[in-house]
Structure 1
């Protein structure tokens, strides 16, 4: 996992809000997928830092969270 300041190419990514994020303006997460990474950012600070995961890291995270359900 890397933490990055949003570079200019961040605006070319197609972001979508997590299905677990509500519409009340609370804790909202957005995700974008590129050929080499999965990017995660705070929807309330779209130009701020974001997390970048490899496909393997993201898959492990999603599998772990799904097992908690």
Structure 2
């Protein structure tokens, strides 16, 4: 974890962003008090599209017939 004063952070945002992309957490402070924590956003999986499983499930013709 890396702490940076807000004045320094405004001057070095591209470098701080690169550090975060590489996995480091950055705390931005003002008067030694933490204000903001920069962290990388977790990658999200795309949601399946409606109907994308069409044709993958097959039901037999007699699926609803009671067995004895």
User: TM-score per shorter chain, which class?
Assistant: under 0.3
The structure having more radius of gyration, on CA atoms, is 2
Normalising by structure 1, we get a TM-score of 0.22
The structure where helix makes up a greater share of residues is: 1
Relative contact order, CA 8 A, sep 6+: which one is greater?
1
The structure where strand makes up a greater share of residues is: 1
Normalising by structure 2, we get a TM-score of 0.22
